[in-house]
């Protein structure tokens, strides 16, 4: 199914994301997403534009002071604050583009501290809008991309036995939700699940009770994928069980960008050791489902 497109633009000045034309054409007429590319959240300046119109900046101390903008210290800076978070509400700004606040932000991005980044961009909208992302940013080096889709078959796969009503598992009857999440990580990493004594890479083995599945399908979609597309995928997976199937359950796992300045909603995200923030749906053949959410140490708990 169609899961794109998204766009990659090089050296885009940050002030382009606060212009009247951009806010009116894209932010107000759909859900626009932007994320700096190839920036490390714990070292570099990073930026994200959220679909609610919030522009989130994670800035190092020197850049923050040079911009002259109001923000707050990062939660994950440690004793010596080296990172600051600035949040700009574009929807609020758009009501009065002649205000002193807008003029100060515009002056900061255009003249006082011009910032440029490589960005991933995506726009979800309904209806036939005249504006297109490609034409709007045609003065910059912009490319259109589709997410990459990789399909593979895993044979003779040891799978944990699950019961939709037993999140905590049942002794000798069903595995727990945390055990499933560990197992999924091993499958996605193509890890051996048998804990052979000669295997020095991994000592992991499939949780018990388990069953051997003759054939399992693994589909991996990689790119800047929007929540609206993920909802469509989830809906399709629910319809998978419209007709009786031998499979007792299917899963949909979504990995967030490790170096995004936010995780869920507007919660600040940090990297620490791995930058993990992810969620996983388990859809059972009786239409029950589990939703698992996980984050690393430098994150608030998911909602």
* pLDDT tens for the chain, residues 1 to 303: 577 799 999 999 999 999 999 999 999 989 999 999 999 998 899 999 999 999 999 999 999 999 999 999 998 877 888 899 999 999 988 777 778 888 999 999 999 999 999 999 999 987 766 568 999 999 999 999 999 999 999 999 999 999 999 999 999 999 999 999 999 999 998 888 776 777 677 788 899 999 999 999 999 999 999 999 999 999 999 999 999 888 999 999 999 999 999 998 888 888 878 888 999 999 999 999 999 999 888 888 887
pTM over 0.85: yes
Residue 276 in any domain: the answer is yes
Residue count (the chain): 303
Give the C-alpha separation, 200 to 35, whole Å: 38
Q: Which domain holds residue 197?
A: 149-294
Residue 243 in any domain: the answer is yes
Residues 113 and 214 in one domain: no
**pLDDT at position 271, please?**
83
Residue 1 in any domain: the answer is no
Residues 275 and 167 in one domain: yes
Residues 113 and 237 in one domain: no
- Which of the listed residues 100, 130, 145 is the one where a domain comes to its end? 145
Residues 281 and 202 in one domain: yes
Residues 278 and 227 in one domain: yes
Residues 10 and 139 in one domain: yes
Residues 121 and 136 in one domain: yes
Residue 301 in any domain: the answer is no
Q: How many CB atoms are located within 10 Å of the residue 36 CB?
A: 25
Residue 268 in any domain: the answer is yes
Residues 158 and 111 in one domain: no
Give the C-alpha separation, 11 to 139, whole Å: 11
Which candidate, 259, 301, 251, 255, places its Cα nearest to that of 278? 255
Give the C-alpha separation, 270 to 251, whole Å: 27
Question: How do beta strands 31-36 and 141-145 pair?
Answer: unpaired
Residues 173 and 82 in one domain: no
**pLDDT at position 151, please?**
94
Sign of torsion over alpha carbons 117, 273, 65, 95: positive
Residues 111 and 88 in one domain: yes
Residue 32 in any domain: the answer is yes
**pLDDT at position 129, please?**
63
- Which of the listed residues 103, 129, 145 is the one where a domain comes to its end? 145
Judged by DSSP in three states, 174 sits in strand
Residue 300 in any domain: the answer is no
Tally of domains within the chain? 2
**pLDDT at position 128, please?**
61
Which candidate, 104, 87, 112, 94, places its Cα nearest to that of 25? 94
Residues 110 and 202 in one domain: no
Q: What are phi and psi of 275, to 5 degrees?
A: 70, 25
Return the CA Rg of the chain. 22
Q: How many CB atoms are located within 10 Å of the residue 171 CB?
A: 7
Residue 277 in any domain: the answer is yes
**pLDDT at position 265, please?**
85
- Helix boundaries (H) for 120-210: 133-136, 177-188
- Which of the listed residues 145, 180, 197 is the one where a domain comes to its end? 145
Residues 210 and 260 in one domain: yes
Give the C-alpha separation, 181 to 195, whole Å: 18
């Amino acid at each position: 199914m169609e899961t794109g497109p998204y766009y990659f633009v090089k050296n885009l000045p940050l002030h382009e994301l606060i212009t009247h034309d951009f806010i009116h054409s894209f932010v107000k007429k759909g859900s626009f997403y932007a994320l700096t590319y190839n920036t490390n959240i714990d070292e570099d300046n990073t930026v994200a534009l959220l679909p609610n119109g919030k522009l989130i900046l994670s800035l190092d101390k020197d850049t923050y002071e040079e911009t002259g903008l109001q923000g707050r210290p990062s939660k994950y800076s440690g004793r010596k604050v080296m990172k600051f978070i600035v949040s700009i509400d574009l929807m609020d700004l758009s009501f009065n583009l002649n205000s002193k606040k807008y003029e100060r932000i515009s002056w900061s991005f255009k003249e006082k501290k011009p910032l440029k980044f490589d960005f991933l961009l995506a726009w979800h909208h309904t209806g036939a809008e005249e504006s297109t992302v490609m034409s709007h940013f045609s003065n910059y080096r912009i490319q259109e991309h589709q997410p990459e889709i990789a399909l593979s078959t895993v044979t003779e796969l040891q799978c944990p036995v699950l019961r939709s009503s037993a999140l905590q598992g049942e002794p000798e009857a069903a595995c727990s939700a945390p055990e499933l999440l560990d197992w999924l990580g091993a499958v996605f990493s193509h890890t051996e699940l048998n804990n052979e004594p000669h295997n020095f890479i991994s000592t992991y083995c499939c949780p018990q009770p388990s069953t051997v599945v003759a054939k399992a399908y693994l589909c991996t979609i990689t790119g800047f994928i929007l929540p609206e597309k993920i909802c469509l995928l989830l809906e399709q997976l629910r319809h998978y069980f419209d007709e009786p199937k031998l499979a007792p359950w299917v899963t949909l796992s979504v990995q967030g960008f490790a170096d995004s300045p936010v995780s869920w909603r507007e919660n600040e995200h940090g990297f620490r050791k791995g930058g993990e923030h992810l969620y996983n749906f388990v859809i059972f053949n009786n239409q029950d489902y589990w939703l698992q959410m996980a984050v690393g140490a430098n994150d608030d708990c998911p909602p």
